[in-house]
Structure 1
Amino acid sequence: MLASLAVLAALAAAGPARAGSAEVRFVQPETYRDANPQHRGPDSEAQAAVQAELQRHLERLAQQRLGADERLAVQVLDIDLAGEIEPWRRAGGQDLRIVRDITMPRMTLSFTLTRGSDVLASGAQERVTDLNFLRGFNRYSSSDPLRYEKAMLDQWFDARFARR
C-alpha cells in the first residue's frame, strides 16, 4: 500500500502544474456567419448561449492545458456552426439544423499566448475547421449542441499550445 501511495505521489509531483487562464472576446458577433443553433438572428438568447458556452470551453481548456503563469487572449471573429438550418424541416415548431459532412464547423480566431510579458505564440485571423468532424470519436455527448465545435477547439488548442 505504501509503495502504491509513493508511486501516486511521484506521478503527481512529476506532472506539470496546470491552471492557465483565458480571456475570450467576441468581436462584432452580429456579423457572424452562423452562431445560432436555431438561426433566430444575431441578438437572440440562443446566440448568447452559444457564445457563453464557447467561452467557458476555451477557459476550461486553458485551465487544464496551460501552465499557471500562461494567459491566452482569444478574439472570436466569426463562427459557423456545424450543419445548416433547413426551414422546410421542422420538429415541434422549431427549425432543424441538419448536419452533413460538407457542413463542418468553422471559426475565425485571433489569439495571443503570453507568459508574463513574453509572447509565446500568436495568430491573426486563423481559420479553424474540422473537415473530419463526423468521422472518428467525439467525446462530447450527442445531446450537446456544440459537440462538433468543442471537439474542433480541442484539436486546435492541442495543435497550437499543448505541443510547445
Structure 2
Amino acid sequence: MIRSWALSILLAAGASAASAADLTVVFVNPENFRDAAYSRSFPSERDREEVMRDVQQHLQRLADRHLGPGDALRIEVLDIDLAGGFSPLRRAGPEVRILTDVTWPRMELRYELSCDGQVIASGRERISDMNYLLMARRSSSSDRFIYERAMLDDWFARRIVAAKEHG
C-alpha cells in the first residue's frame, strides 16, 4: 500500500514538473480496485501500476489542454473497473478480456477544482459509460485504454470544463 501511494505521488510530481497545468492525481488504496489490470483477473502491483499510469497520463493531457494559469485540480481515484471482464470458467491458457453490454467501464472519483485559490467545483462521483460498445472509436485496435479514455474525456468535459466556463 505504501509503495502504491508513493507511486501516486511520484506520478503526480513527475507530471506536474513537465506540465503547466496544476493537477494532482492520487490513487487511494489501489490494491482494492475492482478491476485494474489489462490482462489478468488477479492483478499484481505492477499490473495496477500500468493502469494507474495510463489514467494519470490521460488526466494530465486533459488538464494541460483545458486548465489555465491559476487553475488547480485534485483528483482522488477511489476505484477502477475496466471495460469487460475475464471469464471465471476459463482455467488454462491466457486470460482474455471479454466485452459485453453489462461490463462497461467505471471509476469512482473525488475531485476539487479551484481557480485562483477559490473552489469552483468539487464532488464525489461514480462515472461510467454504459454505451461504450455502441460508440465508434477512432483509435488503434491495440489500444487497451480506449473505453476508459473516452469515459474520462466525457466526464472531464461535463464537470471540469463546464465548471470553468460557468465558474
Give the match for residue 54 of structure 2.
53
Give the match for residue 149 of structure 2.
150
More helix by share: 2
TM-score, normalization by structure 1: 0.80
Structure of larger gyration radius: 1
Q: Distance in 2 between matches of 1:76 and 1:135?
A: 26
Using a 3 Å threshold, how does the CA distance of structure 1 residues 72 and 139 change in structure 2: closer, same or farther? farther
Give the match for residue 116 of structure 1.
116
1:36 deviation in Å?
1.1
Runs of 4+ more than 4 Å apart: 87-91
Q: Is the 8 A contact 1:38 1:96 kept in 2?
A: yes
More strand by share: 1
1:26 deviation in Å?
0.3
Structure 1: 5+ residue stretches without partners: 1-18
TM-score, normalization by structure 2: 0.79
CA RMSD of aligned residues (A): 2.0
Give the match for residue 106 of structure 1.
106
Structure 2: 5+ residue stretches without partners: 1-19
Measured against aligned partners, the alpha-carbon deviations of 1:99-154 in whole angstroms (never above 9, x if no partner) come to 11211000000000112211111012x10001111112323322111110000000
Give the match for residue 96 of structure 2.
96
Task: Give the fraction of aligned pairs with identical amino acids, expressed as a percent.
Answer: 45
Letter in 1 for 2:87: E
